[in-house]
Amino acid sequence: MAKLYFKYGAMGSSKTAQALMCKFNYEQKGFKVFLFKSQIDNRKIRNGKGLVHSRIGLESECVEFGKLFSFKAYFNNLKFDQGKSVIIVDECQFLTKEQVDELKDISLQMPVLCYGLLTNFKTELFEGSKRLVELAESLTEIKSVCRCGRKATINARFVDGKIAKDGEEILIGADECYESVCYSCYKKLLN
């Protein structure tokens, strides 16, 4: 069904793997899948093209978007069957408010599935995530587990082995600088 979906979770919750499995499922059913990711995450590139890559090894080439990228302009220049097409966006927390508004309009014609983080390491909403919460018809939490066994909800950033309280909102990294934890463990790490 054509609508805007937001699937969010803490780091390490398999968001990207699920996005790539979703892509495979749609392609298996004959759909054209348009896969996007933010160019902020430039760790994986193949032959000069962006690559969506999961920690478990799944990957696919994609179109990268920056802050000035227009989804409407991109799709206005393409010919495709809207009834057999779908958009999947990985790292959707890096979308701008305007880009989410464009995707919402596009979702009137075809499904738009957005996968990403809800909050940054300071426990504040990202701009793209905030707008997705405001506009998406479907919000789904992808759960992950804290070191203590509780549900992880915080993306704790570590610098030199210590939890960070301040810094730039965006620092691209994975297990080397982030750990998803529950709020209780987060408070203990802060103290």
- Confidence (pTM): 0.90
In order, the DSSP letters of 40-84 are: T--S-EETTEEEEE-TTS-EEEEEEE-TT--HHHHHHT----GGG
Model confidence at 46: pLDDT above 60: no
Compute the distance between CA of residue 28 and CA of residue 16 in angstroms, rounded to an integer.
18
Q: Write out the H or E segment, with its range, that includes residue 85.
A: strand 85-90
Read off the pLDDT band of 53 (50, 70, 90).
confident
Convert the pLDDT of each residue in 145-160 to its tens digit.
999 999 999 998 888 8
Read off the pLDDT band of 170 (50, 70, 90).
low
Average pLDDT over every residue of 178-187: 92
Convert the pLDDT of each residue in 77-136 to its tens digit.
887 777 899 999 999 999 999 999 999 999 999 999 999 999 999 999 999 999 999 999
Residue matched to tokens 């957005």: 114
Model confidence at 49: pLDDT above 80: no
Q: The domain 4-142: what is its CATH number?
A: 3.40.50.300
The closest alpha carbon to 113, from 28, 37, 10, belongs to 37
Convert the pLDDT of each residue in 19-33 to its tens digit.
999 999 999 999 999
Report the alpha-carbon angle 121-122-127, nearest 5.
85
Query: Would you state the structure tokens that stand for residue 25, as one six-digit string?
Result: 């499922």
Greater model confidence, 26 or 167: 26
Model confidence at 9: pLDDT above 80: yes
Compute the distance between CA of residue 156 and CA of residue 84 in angstroms, rounded to an integer.
39
Catalytic annotation, residues = 91
Compute the distance between CA of residue 89 and CA of residue 15 in angstroms, rounded to an integer.
11
